[in-house]
Structure 1
Amino acid sequence: MSIERIVFAVAGAFILISVLLAMYVSPYWLWFTAFVGANLFQSAFTGFCPLALILKKMGKESGTAF
């Protein structure tokens, strides 16, 4: 699996988990959802993604996103 697919999967999982936590635990979890969304938004313009850097240092290969 390429770095891009892992980033998409982790971001999607974080968003779904935080929405569920907001529904069943506390609405403050929506701040985490907003943080993930803002990080995805800024990485689309800047190309900077902390998870991608970590995965690259772990030896994962970059590939096509789709």
Structure 2
Amino acid sequence: MIRSVWAIWKHKASSNDDPHHERCSIKYCGYLKSLEKGEEYDHNKHRLPLILVFFKSSAIF
């Protein structure tokens, strides 16, 4: 479960300049699916500012 939480946190905090999808599953991650197809991926569609990711995750714990 900890791996999944970190995967979500890093996925949502990723940007076009600084992608972090090393913990993501290709089954769910649009970025990894795009890489596999050789297509570009735009993180701006779903990216949350890092401060929001921090506050949302600290509210859970």
Q: Which has the higher helix share?
A: 1
Q: Which protein is bigger by CA-based radius of gyration?
A: 1
TM-score class, shorter: 0.3 to 0.5
Higher relative contact order (CA 8 A, sep 6+): 1
